[in-house]
Amino acid sequence: MLIFEQSQSGRFNGAQAPAEAPSADDIPAHLRRKGRPTLPEVSELQAVRHYTRLSQKNFSIDTQFYPLGSCTMKYNPRGANAQAMLPGFLGRHPHAPASSHGQGVMACLFELQEMLKQVTGMAACSLTPMAGAQGEFAGVAMIRAWHDARGDETRSEILVPDAAHGTNPATAVMCGYKVREIPTDPSGDVDVEALREVVGPQTAGIMLTNPSTLGVFDRRILEIAKIVHEAGGLLYYDGANLNAILGKVKPGDMGFDVVHLNVHKTFSTPHGGGGPGAGPVVVSERLEPFLPVPMVDHDGREYRWVTESERPQSIGRLSAFMGNIGVLLRAYVYARMLGREGMERVAGFATLNANYLMARLQAEGFEMPFPDRRATHEFVLTLKHEAKTYGVSAMDFAKRLLDYGQHAPTAYFPLLVPECFLIEPTETESRETLDAFVAAMAAIRNEARDNPEIVTSAPHTLPVKRLDDVKAARELNLTWKPEPVA
């Protein structure tokens, strides 16, 4: 039942409303609202009960295994939440003076900038992008600003591997570039020969994830970097998969010029049903002048904001204030809790979990498109055999997994692999949980063989059965409307 269906005209939640104010009759009538908006009129108990019960209809990390590939659904420490919600942080206005009312939060942000530089091997950092995609935007915009600043205005293309996240090409277009796709070779790496053929004076840069979304580490990355750099282009690193290499390899050492990080992935800030995230960017020295503002600096005496006035070449501002500071505080707390040793452990255990899970699923007879490669923090599995033999698709497997109390992996991405799952267990899951996933996958394949209907009509145990997406798109219903009064 929707909250609106529990509403009754005239119900009023007295504990949450200020006393009635004098009428605002200095505001001219033609600027004033006439009818009231369709907000629900419910009691505090009704609201609390409604949203508490709604919450129970979600799968989440706190309640289920959630091996969503490329999303790094690892444990979001409750301590990070508690510290970020201290009254002094929550109550601080973005324009509160830095000197008298900001040194606490700015110390955290400054140190986070330093840590992100260190883990990526880059020279400078701006925390301000509000999500991964905005970090990507900032990265490509800086590449463009760099070419522009050199007067090199011939560069019109961004190269993107065909396995890339959809945000990569979309971002390139937002920055005014044309996108050229680079194919993948049979081993899962970028096809270097194809790359060689397409680079040229029109190449602004390349956007790469390494390890790629195919769950493998591109072994020829140094060669790729050399090719692109020699053609005058720059290299952008999509940090979505940074969890796989934290403490093992630094993007800076691979030759990247700019990196964005997803703190809601690598630094375990809450995924929040789809946000908020934060997408800090770190760059090599040559891109430093172009970083988005504001940033935090320390002048030896105190922390202060770096703004456009002292960074005239900055690509500019990306939000009204300084991005998602509350998210960054959580990332800071997490990073400090891990520390040196903890951070070095992340990639190791994430990779161990992925390789173990892959090995066990392989032993159970599931097919891997790149069977000879190591898994990184994630791996791709294809159900094309099951689809063909039993008529049961990856989507059906995904829905049936829900009945086994496990969130489904990312399905049908990367686009190159048919009927695929992209599976990322993360380092915070136990071996028992991975074993339970293998058992569920094996059980579902048995069901697919013996009783495919139970799989193709799944899920059966959730608040709703399988939903009709086509109807949703065709007969758009995006807002509730009151029943017309008879």
Partner 1 sequence: MPFIPHTEADVKAMLETVGVDTIEALFDEIPAELRSDGLNELSAGLNEMEIGRLMQERAAEDGLPACFIGAGAYDHHVPAAVWEIVTRGEFYSAYTPYQAEASQGTLQLVYEYQTMIASLNGLDVSNASLYDGASALAEAVLMAVRANRKDKSRRILIPATVHPAYRQTVHTLVRNQGIELVEVPYEPESGITAVESLEPLLEEGMAAVVIPQPNFFGRLEEVDALTDWAHAHGALAIAVVNPVALALLKPPGEWGAKGADIACGEGQPLGAPLASGGPYFGFMACKQAYVRQMPGRVVGKTLDSEGRPGFTLTLQAREQHIRRSKATSNICTNQGLLAAAATIHMALLGPRGLERVAGACHANTGALVERLTRVEGVQRVFEGPVFHETVLRLPVPVDTVIRALGAQDVLAGYPLAEDYPELENCILVCATEKHGEADIEEYGRHLERILDRNRGPACTKLRPPEGTI
Footprint of a copy of itself on 375-434 (CB under 8 A): 428-430, 432
Q: What are residue 295's phi and psi, to 5 degrees?
A: -130, 175
| 100 binds a copy of itself, rule: CB under 8 A | no
Nearer to a copy of itself, 307 or 430 (CB): 430
Distance in angstroms (rounded) separating the CA atoms of residues 392 and 383: 9
Rounded CA-CA distance 211/251 in Å is: 11
Applying CB under 8 A, the span of 52-60, 100-108, 229-237, 346-354 interacting with a copy of itself comes to 52-60
In angstroms, the CA 266 to CA 244 distance is: 9
Q: What whole-number distance in Å separates Cα of residue 205 and Cα of residue 156? A: 9
Q: What is the footprint of partner 1 within residues 56-85 (CB under 8 A)?
A: 56-64, 66, 68, 71, 73-79, 81-85
Among 27, 48, 467, 472, binds a copy of itself (CB under 8 A): 48
Q: Are 132 and 239 in contact (CB under 8 A)?
A: yes
**Residue 216, CA distances (Å) to 209, 213, 219, 241 in order:** 10, 7, 9, 10
Residues 324-383 close enough to bind partner 1 by CB under 8 A: 324-327, 329, 333, 336-345, 347-349, 351-353, 355-356, 359-360, 363, 373-375
Partner that binds at residue 156, options a copy of itself, partner 1, none, CB closer than 5 to 8 Å by kind: none
Give 92 or 384: the residue with its C-beta nearer to a copy of itself.
92
Shortest CA distance to 139 belongs to which of 103, 167, 110?
Answer: 167
| Helices 431-450 + 325-363 axis angle, to 10 | 60
- Which option in partner 1, a copy of itself, none does residue 135 bind, with CB closer than 5 to 8 A by kind? none
Given a copy of itself, partner 1, none, residue 196, with its beta carbon under 5 to 8 Å by kind, binds none
CA distance 250 to 121: 5
Q: Scanning residues 56 to 95, which ones bind a copy of itself (CB under 8 A)? A: 56, 61-64, 75, 77-79, 87
**What does 233 bind: a copy of itself, partner 1, none (CB cut-off 5 to 8 Å by kind)?**
none
Judged by beta carbon distances under 5 to 8 A according to partner kind, the member of a copy of itself, partner 1, none in contact with residue 439 is none
Q: How far is the CB of 431 from partner 1 (least distance, A)?
A: 5
Q: Which residues ranging from 149 to 208 are in contact with partner 1 (CB under 8 A)?
A: 165-167, 169-176, 179
What single-letter DSSP state applies at residue 462? S
* Closer of 63 and 389 to partner 1 (Cβ): 63
340-369 residues in contact with a copy of itself (CB under 8 A) are 342
Residues in the chain: 486
Give 211's contacts (C-beta < 8 A, 6+ positions apart): 217, 218, 241, 244, 245, 376, 377, 378
Give me the least distance between CB of 286 and partner 1, in Å please: 19
Q: Nearer to partner 1 by C-beta: 388 or 460?
A: 460
Q: Is residue 410 part of the contact set for partner 1 (CB under 8 A)?
A: yes
The full DSSP string for 175-216 is TT-EEEEEPBPTTSSB-HHHHHHH-STTEEEEEE-SS-TTS-
When binding is defined by CB under 8 A, the residue of 299, 473, 483, 485 that contacts partner 1 is: 473
Answer for the pair 128, 293: CB distance below 8 angstroms, yes or no: yes
Which residue in 67, 102, 233, 369 binds partner 1 (CB under 8 A)? Answer: 102
For β-strands 178-182 and 203-208, DSSP reports them as unpaired
Does 93 interact with partner 1 (rule: CB under 8 A)? Answer: yes
Please report whether residue 45 would count as binding a copy of itself according to CB under 8 A.
Answer: yes
Quick one: which of 156, 247, 289, 454 contacts partner 1 (CB under 8 A)? 247
Give the list of residues 6+ apart from residue 411 with CB closer than 8 angstroms, or none.
Answer: 394, 395, 397, 398, 420, 421, 422
CB nearer to partner 1: give 328 or 388: 328
Q: Which amino acid is at 65?
A: F
Burial 104-128 (b: 16+ CB within 10 A, else e): ebbebbbbbbebbbebbbbebbbbb
Q: Candidates 28-36, 230-238, 385-393, 445-453 — which segment interacts with partner 1 by CB under 8 A?
A: 28-36
Which residues in this chain contact a copy of itself in the complex, by CB under 8 A? 6, 8, 11, 14-15, 43-46, 48-49, 52-53, 56, 61-64, 75, 77-79, 87, 337, 342, 428-430, 432
